[in-house]
Amino acid sequence: MVFQGGTGGTARLKAIRQAELHSLEPDEVASTLEAGIEGETTQIILERMDRGKEGWERLLVDRLRLKHYQWKTEQTYRDWANRFVQWRGKVGLDGASAEDVKGFLTYLASERDVAASTQRQALNALVFLFREVLGEEPGDLSGFQTSRRPTRVPTVLTEAECMMLFGELDGMAQIMAKLTYGAGLRVTELIRLRIQDIDFDRGIVTVRAGKGGKDRVTVLPEALKVPLSRHFIDLREVYERDREAGVPGVWLPSVVEHKIPKAGASWSWQWVFPSRQLAVDPRSGVQRRHHVSDAAFQTAIRKAADKAGIAKRVTPHTLRHSFATHLLRSGHDIRTVQELLGHAKVETTMIYTHVLNKPGVSVRSPLD
């Protein structure tokens, strides 16, 4: 059965249910939909792991993977789609319209008090759901209540507090923390670093597919060159053992996997911060070595801050905030800091100037 574009969301849902009744996999429906929408027969690689329970969710997963969305984005979009379905109650996606989307977004702002960025994330996920699963444009989405949560000044550590924090860490966790601070990395950028992304000779760290899918370079701290070199020696031993044991190569971006299928087993593509244990890839079902989880690193930072007696809420992102603030305080121009952080707009970087500037800085307190 082949479906033509513009059949509408209800028709798609009926097709998925009909396929389920006839013991057809929803991915087969996705394949025929793909052929009808794009006008060409496209062979979709069917991943059998963690593809959702409902037919519409499996189709959502197929579309996300066909368009090569990151795993974290896939999880986020699936989560918002499920929340939307639960919010609508027993009717599920039947008859879903732009008014339902606006109602859900208003609910998030008024009753859940989510941040504006969270509300935008939900909007993006639902637009994708309508276009790619229901096969229709969501229509006019203006007029919903937007989130008005005030902007908060970021938490920043002093240089001394950073050293205290590092002192409560050791091994790979300490290197990760120092690199987060020393290069101004987001936690996802840190854990996804590959061996080839560290350039000791040029003193740079290359961030690939960062926020917004953009690449950038940032500074590799001189103080980390020796510890990282020693860390690489240890990694090489793990790498050699994995190859001898026949462990499949690490996960690769789909473009690289298609062009260089064996790259995952090469040294240059290995993770800089790998997990100690092998794990099953949720997309392919292959057991391989993945990078360390962000949750484990966040927990290590939080515990280290408690041990150091730092009376602030400290997360890995706090180190990135501290990197930017300390650079600006030392006299580096804001455009340079913007590029190192990977901010699309300088206005985003400007928030750190509020941390630097004390109210009434030129006024002497009467207590003094």
Locate 66 and state its tokens. Answer: 């066909």
Locate 118 and state its tokens. Answer: 């969270």
CA distance to 83, 130, 199, 306, 348, per residue, from 146 (Å): 18, 20, 44, 36, 20
Task: Say how many C-beta atoms besides its own lie within 10 A of residue 9's C-beta.
Answer: 21
Whether 239 is a known active-site residue: answer: no
Whether 317 is a known active-site residue: answer: yes
**How far is the first Cα of the chain from the last one, in angstroms, to the nearest whole number?**
82
Q: Which residue has the tokens 């977004």?
A: 105
Q: Are 1 and 15 in contact (CB under 8 A)?
A: yes
Which one is catalytic: 211, 225, 283, 302? 211
Backbone angles phi and psi of 281, in degrees to 5: -65, 120
Which one is catalytic: 51, 58, 186, 192? 186
Radius of gyration for the alpha carbons in the chain, expressed in angstroms and rounded: 24
Locate 141 and state its tokens. Answer: 């989405």
* Dihedral angle of Cα 249, 253, 258, 263, to the nearest 10 degrees: -30
Q: In the sheet where 198-199 sits, what is the strand order?
A: 198-199, 204-207, 216-219
DSSP string, 11-71: HHHHHHHHHHHTT--HHHHHHHHHHHHHSS--------SS--SSHHHHHHHHHHHHTT--H
Q: What is the rounded distance in angstroms from the CA atom of residue 316 to the CA atom of residue 271?
A: 19
Which one is catalytic: 51, 290, 320, 326? 320
Residue type present at position 298: Q
Whether 343 is a known active-site residue: answer: yes
Residue type present at position 287: Q
Active site residues: 186, 211, 317, 320, 343, 352
